[in-house]
Amino acid sequence: MELANSIYYSGIGRRKVNEDFLYPEFPSNQNSLYMVCDGLGGMAYGELASKMTALAVQNYMDKVELYSKDVVASSIHFANNLIKEFSSEHPKTKGMSSTLAMLVQNEHDFFAGWVGDSRIYHIRDGDVLFKSKDHSYKELLTSMGVEEEETKGMGHIITQAVGGKQNIKPGLARIGDIKTGDYLVLLTDGVLEGVPEVEFLNYFKSKNESETILEQIVNLCSEKSRDNHTLYILKTK
C-alpha cells in the first residue's frame, strides 16, 4: 500500500504560542510514522511536552522492525515515562503533558494509537470507517448513558495525557481494509473548534484534491478557531 500524498497544516489560532507539534515536518514516501500532539502545561512547557512526546515515540519506533498494536502501546508508554522523569528532574515543568494521535503504516494496513482528545479518522467518500474515541469527560459520561445536552463544555476536559499520570491506557486499533482514495486524518481538537465535525466530513465527500480540502479546512480554522489547530491528511494510492 502506498500513499498518493501526505499534507499537513499547523496554525496558532488566537493563542500566543503554538503548543501543537506534528511529525514528520517534511514528509516523504519513506515515512511510515505520522503524529500530531497537543501540549498542555502552560508557560512554554506545553510546547515542550508535545515535541518531547512525538520525538520520544519516533525514537522508539526507529528501533523497531515489525509494527503491531503492542509496539505502538510500548512507544507511547516510553514517551509517558520520559516526560514523567523529565518533570521530576525539572520541577518547573511539573504538570506538563501532551495528547497524541499516531499512525504507523505497515505493508497493507495502519496501526493507530492515541491519548487524550487528538483524533484519528479513516474516511472513504465522506463516510467514517474508523474514529478514535476521545479520552475526555464528555466521552466517558456519554458511554455511561448521560445525555449529550448534559455534557456540553466537557469535550475539552481530557481524562488522560502522555506524561499526565503514570498508568495511562492508550487507545489502540488496527485500521485495515484500505482502498485507493481513502483518507486517514490526524488532528488536534482545535480543528473541530473551527469546523464542526459534520461540515469537516463533508469536505471529504467532494472530488476535490487533498490540497483543496486542506485549504478549505484551514480557512475556516483560521477564521473561527481560537485554539492551536493541526492536522495531517494522508490519501492512499
pLDDT tens per residue across span 163-180:
987 689 999 999 999 999
> Residue 115 has what pLDDT?
98
Report residue 210's pLDDT band, with 50, 70 and 90 as the boundaries: very high
pLDDT tens per residue across span 68-90:
999 999 999 999 999 999 999 99
Lowest mean pLDDT among 58-72, 149-163, 185-199: 149-163
Range of the structural domain that residue 209 is part of? 3-235
Strands (E), the chain: 3-11, 20-23, 33-40, 97-98, 100-105, 110-115, 119-124, 127-131, 171-175, 183-187, 229-236
The enclosing domain of 23 has a CATH number of 3.60.40.10
Lowest mean pLDDT among 40-44, 188-192, 227-231: 40-44
CB 200 within 8 A of CB 217: yes
Stated pTM of the model: 0.95
Total count of domains within the chain: 1
> Residue 41 has what pLDDT?
78
At 235 the three-state DSSP class reads strand
Beta sheet of 119-124, edge-to-edge order? 3-11, 229-236, 183-187, 119-124, 127-131
Lowest mean pLDDT among 34-38, 92-96, 220-224: 92-96
